[in-house]
Amino acid sequence: MLLAATVGWDLLGLDMAVMLHIGTPTGFPLQDNWWLSTVLHDKLRLVAQLLFVVMLVWASWPMRTGGLPRRERWLLVGLVVASLLVVNLIKLNSRTSCPWDLHAFGGDARYVSHWLLNVGDGGGGRCFPGGHASSAFAFFALCLPWLCPPSGSQRSRAPGWRWLFLVLTVGLVAGVTQTLRGAHHPSHTLWTLVICMGISIVGWAIGQRWLQARPQASAQAGKP
Report pLDDT digits (tens) over 57-97: 999 988 776 679 999 999 999 999 999 999 999 999 999 99
Number of domains in the chain: 1
**Predicted pLDDT of residue 188:** 97
**Predicted pLDDT of residue 63:** 75
Identify whether 84 is part of a domain.
yes
**Predicted pLDDT of residue 221:** 47
**Predicted pLDDT of residue 215:** 54
Identify whether 130 is part of a domain.
yes
Identify whether 97 is part of a domain.
yes
**Predicted pLDDT of residue 218:** 47
**Predicted pLDDT of residue 213:** 65
Identify whether 222 is part of a domain.
no
Identify whether 217 is part of a domain.
no
Domain that holds residue 191: 2-211
What's the 3-state SS for the chain?
CHHHHHHHHHHCCHHHHHHHHHCECCECCCCCCHHHHHHHHHHHHHHHHHHHHHHHHHHHCCCCECCECHHHHHHHHHHHHHHHHHHHHHHHHCCCCCHHHEHHHCCCECCCCCCCCCCCCCCCCCCCCCHHHHHHHHHHHHHHHHHCCCCCCCCCCHHHHHHHHHHHHHHHHHHHHHHHHCCCCHHHHHHHHHHHHHHHHHHHHHHHHHHHHHHHHHHHHCCC
Identify whether 111 is part of a domain.
yes
Q: From the CB of residue 108, how many other CB atoms can be counted at a distance below 10 Å?
A: 12
**Predicted pLDDT of residue 214:** 58
Identify whether 90 is part of a domain.
yes
Q: Which residues of the chain have pLDDT under 50?
A: 218-222, 224
Identify whether 224 is part of a domain.
no
